[in-house]
């Protein structure tokens, strides 16, 4: 019998102990796999998310990241026109984010919403799932996320009319700015958290609802370079051209996110290392118990002329069998849990 066959047969003599050991190794291997994928996968997923619509450059108020604070940029329309005129720029647009209220259809109660003011001709933050997109200058239309549509009324959908309230008068708690808008489409906002109720209108309408129309405010400007290879040069030129704003390429944003997630990366490394140590200790403990239980058998084998090297190879073969089977189960378990973790993060 080969060393590996001897090892598998030895494991089969104690099925309960072997099963528990394999379960422990599988859990440790799954955790190690998930931690390795998380530590390196978050940056890749973040980069892919930012590039899903192809806009590689973000411009924000000086010293901030996109939607990092409530700071905003004045003169958004003029900035967008200037950016579009820059060499190497294929498209550019502005986005304004603001807290809003929506009136529940068929009632007087208000629900909290998040509003996006967008320029439909250069949008990079949503995908239409039902209905149609807004057209430039469509001040009578609105886009809803599915959670927002549910909050505004169970049957709210494309073609219905909803009422958005921009601000409440703090003294009498009634709407000071409100508009009735027709639902053009249901969309998925790419950067919303799960279940976030968001709505979108053209930029001028959202500016009026948010009280930002006087100085043409925007929270974020997006620019798309004609060629990915030109992004660093275009970003550098925009920094020189617009020193009053913060210019970041997707690569810059990934670096900033990595700096903010350094604690999480270190934690992943620590947990992964602990998982590896636990797996090694489990295997070593099981082999030690096996050798102690079979001392009589080992002495007999030595007495009939079996070399020490052969016995050592047989013991190591048992450890290899345990490792291979446990690691295989751990990979399967890790892939299953990775799908769940990915769903949470995205």
Res 40: pLDDT:
66
Res 47: pLDDT:
66
Res 82: pLDDT:
92
Res 170: pLDDT:
53
Res 130: pLDDT:
93
The low-confidence residues of the chain, meaning pLDDT below 70, are 1-12, 39-53, 167-176, 261, 343-346
Cβ–Cβ contacts within 10 Å for residue 57, how many?
A: 23
Closest by Cα among 174, 205, 23, 4 to 101:
174
Res 143: pLDDT:
95
Domain ranges of the chain: 3-44+261-345, 63-243
Res 172: pLDDT:
47
CB contact at 8 A, 30 and 337: yes
Closest by Cα among 264, 140, 133, 152 to 197:
152
Which residues share a beta bridge with 144? 186, 199
Res 96: pLDDT:
93
Q: Give, in degrees to the nearest 5, the angle at Cα 121 between 116 and 122.
A: 65
CA distances from 240 to 146, 203, 233, 236, 243 (A): 41, 26, 11, 7, 6
Cβ–Cβ contacts within 10 Å for residue 260, how many?
A: 10
Provide the whole-model pTM: 0.69
Q: How far apart are CA 179 and CA 102, in angstroms?
A: 10
């Amino acid at each position: 019998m080969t060393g590996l066959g001897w090892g598998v047969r030895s494991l089969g003599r104690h099925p309960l102990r072997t099963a528990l050991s394999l379960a422990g190794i599988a859990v440790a291997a799954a955790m190690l796999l998930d931690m390795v994928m998380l530590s390196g996968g978050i940056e890749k997923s973040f980069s892919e998310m930012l590039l899903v619509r192809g806009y590689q450059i973000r411009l924000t108020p000086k010293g901030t990241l996109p939607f990092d604070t409530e700071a905003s940029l004045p003169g958004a329309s003029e900035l967008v026109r200037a950016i579009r005129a820059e060499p190497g720029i294929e498209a550019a647009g502005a986005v304004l984010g603001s807290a809003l209220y929506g009136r529940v259809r068929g009632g007087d109660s208000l629900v909290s919403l998040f509003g996006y003011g967008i320029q439909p001709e250069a949008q990079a933050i949503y995908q239409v799932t039902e209905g149609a997109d807004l057209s430039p200058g469509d001040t009578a239309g609105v886009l809803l996320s599915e959670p927002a549509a549910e909050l505004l009324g169970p049957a709210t959908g494309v073609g219905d009319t909803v009422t958005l309230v921009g601000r409440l008068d703090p003294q009498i708690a009634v709407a000071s700015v409100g508009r009735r808008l027709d639902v053009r489409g249901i969309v998925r906002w790419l950067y919303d958290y799960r279940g976030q109720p968001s709505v979108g209108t053209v930029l001028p309408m959202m500016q009026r609802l948010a009280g930002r129309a006087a100085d043409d405010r925007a929270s974020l400007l997006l620019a798309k370079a004609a060629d990915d290879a030109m992004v660093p040069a275009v970003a550098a030129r925009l920094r020189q051209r617009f020193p009053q704003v913060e210019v970041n390429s997707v690569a810059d944003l990934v670096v900033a996110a990595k700096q903010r997630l350094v604690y999480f990366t270190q934690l992943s490394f620590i947990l992964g290392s602990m998982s590896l140590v636990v797996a090694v200790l489990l295997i070593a403990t099981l082999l030690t118990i096996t050798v102690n239980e079979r001392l009589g058998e080992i002495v007999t084998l030595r007495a009939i002329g079996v070399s020490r090297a052969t016995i050592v190879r047989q013991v190591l073969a048992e450890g290899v069998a345990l490792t291979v089977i446990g690691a295989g189960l751990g990979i399967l378990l890790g892939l299953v849990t990775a799908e769940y973790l990915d769903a949470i993060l995205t």
